[in-house]
Chains A and B, each alone.
Chain A
């Protein structure tokens, strides 16, 4: 007994700093286990992390920011590939308070950008639902937000990119200059390593948000109310309950927001709050469908019938889930995925109902669902949004997930929609090709800049037929 116990104890005491493997790791990258936000899939690879992003991208197949893509977009292909981590490359290279033009290194986090820019009267032109992302990642995913119907994707506001392309050259790639620029917006990091980003910020009258919300009892009016709200409001989004069935199916809360005017906003600046970290992965069984049913019901009931209006902290409005860091751990180690699809306009009640029925018939466990109307397609050659309605569905992973995603994708293909790569982990190559008639044009640009096919990710192996 003692004999078997001792060696174990020794390995535990031995500082891992002096392992032989570790000595080598300092030079060639540390072998680490990587996952996206959804904790699935899990890939081992070698990570190089440095302030000097130019240096570490030389040998890397992909650059990775804060790894907030849900699926495998930020993961290297399986095998012993090197990935460059950008978060230490986080300098604010210029911020012109008169024009709102900002230039940052790719690892610059959105949270810092917001906290620096809001007191100066500027805000990012487009923000995703979390501020724990890098600006480089925002370009690579060409993120959209609650204001897509008026502002488009983040890429619409990018002026120029500094990139390391696959042959090792470092180039400045301005809007309109190369096809590479448009291919890189939403190109999931597969067209070159993004080193610096220059973009145009948006002026805001105050750093506060005027928010109104209303309950929508009947799913039939969700689409209309979203559309109507979009005419008057720059920020709209609809939280919807896709677990409930029967006459309450698809009930929702519609949130609308705009920047508060000086007269209505508090005089001071918003206080930046720190967010506690969810400490451990809960067991896989901890979060059950019935709990989410109750949670959704509470959320819905607590809101009350009457519309609400109030001044809101911008971080509460844009990033409600960021109040707890690592909240993805509540799903346990099984992980979760998000299926976000856009169904093109004209979107009808009938299609909305069909989609809900499809989810129900396939017993999809949709723990969280967000509905939002999209504006026009932007510059990005392969960017996700187009005019229509997008559904983002959080689904815990089990043995049934692949089948559910396949059925959803059948529907998306049939309706002429497409999916958001930043969230995806389960879509099949044939589905993706059927959704993306733009793929060949984008691939041409990609291949033109990467003739030896050096840049790749787990996602590109899964969906684009790259070799691992």
Chain B
């Protein structure tokens, strides 16, 4: 695969990119911090990624960086057949409630700008007759829940967008994979106590890569979250009002 990867330097993105590198995929990294990207590029090249692992600056907070970054990726890889987005922001519900600026940043990053980025990537992939677009959403977007109302809302919007993309463009060769991780032990969640069923980034990466290869539309990981969320989605509103989950 020739992959343009936004978010490969941290967390689940790092693990996923490594799995791709280990099997010899070609990678091009997009991200905010060039120094950090270069180190991740070296890591992936050392693990076996084919060819040189290029980098380009691309900031989810800044829409203007999207198109040039993707173009650079195109130039470097020749032909991009896969775009992966694992980047995103997280904020605790209480922090977001009390800080409108932080809330705005989170909504812009996770929803508005991720969609802009995906639109650019979609255009690129459709031009070449299709390809794979894998985007990390979250189980938090499955139902409005007290601890993750705002973060969840941003991911819910993203999930709906990706589902729509799949419906409209599947026949034209665009394979969209929406990843819905549960709680995963990464740097992003390091300050929180892990709940039951907490997952490891490398296990998520394994599930996601399999999902991408098979063209799965939705990947829950760890897998148990599919069933947890099935229950949560079907709980009566009266119950949701009572419980804190």
Contact = CB atoms under 8 A, between A and B. Distances in A.
Given A14-B244, A116-B47, A91 B192 contact: no
A290 interface: no
Contacts of A321: none
A363 interface: no
Given A26-B192, A29-B191, A30-B191, A17 B46 contact: no
A17 B92 CA distance: 8
A95 interface: yes
Interface string B33-57: 0001001101100110000000000
A50 B11 CA distance: 9
A426 B47 CA distance: 42
A160 B202 CA distance: 30
Interface in A1-48: 10, 13-18, 20, 22-23, 25-27, 29-30, 47-48
A17 B94 CA distance: 10
B244 A30 contact: no
Given A13-B244, A29-B191, A18 B42 contact: no
A16 B9 CA distance: 28
B75 interface: no
Contacts of A16: 192-193, 195
Nearest to A28: B191
Contact of A22 (B46, B191, B245): B191
Given A20-B94, A25-B192, A94-B46, A15 B187 contact: no
Interface residues of A, number: 30
Nearest to B10: A51
A25 B245 contact: no
A22 B193 contact: yes
Interface string B182-198: 00001100111101000
Contact of A92 (B10, B11, B47, B147): B47
A55 to B, nearest CB: 10
B8 to A, nearest CB: 11
Contacts of A463: none
Nearest to B242: A13
A116 B191 CA distance: 31
Contacts of A17: 92, 147-148, 192-193, 195
A225 B12 CA distance: 50
Nearest to A93: B42
Contacts of B10: 51
A27 B191 contact: yes
B2 to A, nearest CB: 22
Contacts of B43: 91-93
A49 interface: yes
Given A51-B9, A91-B40, A95-B46, A18 B190 contact: no
A88 interface: yes
Contact of B245 (A13, A20, A49, A91): A13
B93 interface: yes
15 contacts: A14-B244, A15-B146, A15-B244, A23-B94, A26-B92, A27-B191, A30-B193, A49-B187, A51-B14, A52-B187, A88-B186, A92-B42, A92-B46, A92-B47, A116-B47
Interface of B: 9-11, 14, 36, 39-40, 42-43, 46-47, 92-95, 146-148, 186-187, 190-193, 195, 243-245
Top 9 A-B pairs ranked by shortest CB distance? A26-B191, A49-B190, A91-B43, A14-B244, A50-B187, A25-B191, A92-B46, A18-B147, A16-B193
